[in-house]
Amino acid sequence: MKILLICGSATRTSRTRGLIQAVERELRKRSDVELMSFDVGKDVLPLYDGSEAQAEDEAVKRLRSCAEQADGFYICSPEYHAGMSGALKKTFDFLSGSHFRGKPVAISAASGGSKGGVNALNNMRTVLRGVYALVLPDQIIVDPDHFNEQRELVNEEMQKRIQGIVDELCQYARSLAAGRQQQLQA
């Protein structure tokens, strides 16, 4: 089973990256999970213009290939101006329903303060619904005080919440992947 982790922060030293690293550590505990990752701060995409020439961009090809192979997704974003990051939205612009249909998606946000994050999550839900993703009902928002100075997630309650949402994501991804296999064999 393949899970694609998407870090939606273009900032090199971000709490979003610390959050996705905590998710990655939890997923690595599962022997049946193969991880793929796409980091919008490292895998820089061009501004989407709808041209076919962009399909040849190396980052676009890598993103689309990973998304096609994925059985599920875990996507994290910071909240910028009451929404997901522009870099993450640009990432979604290069994908379509063919990448997400019938696949579960877990979402989380890293807030800049004690009340942020929910707008980014709602924004992600809206866009992901537009590409037919099966977004899990549970979601996580981590606050700045959940991290140490090195931007590592150290809050035990949040680590337990991540374990729970990762369990749910894997359960759905496993079941839906098995269903897709049965359809292909029929």
pLDDT confidence tier of residue 185, bands split at 50, 70 and 90: confident
Q: Is 24 exposed, middle or buried (0-12, 13-18, 19+ CB in 10 A)?
A: middle
Give yes or no for residue 114 having a pLDDT over 80: no
| Residue 129, domain extent | 2-185
CATH number, domain with residue 162: 3.40.50.360
Closest among 69, 66, 80 to 109, alpha carbons compared: 80
Out of 72-86, 107-121, 128-142, 143-157, pick the least confident: 107-121
Report the domain count for the chain.
Answer: 1
pLDDT tens per residue, range 28-41:
999 999 999 999 99
pLDDT tens per residue, range 131-157:
999 999 999 999 999 999 999 999 999
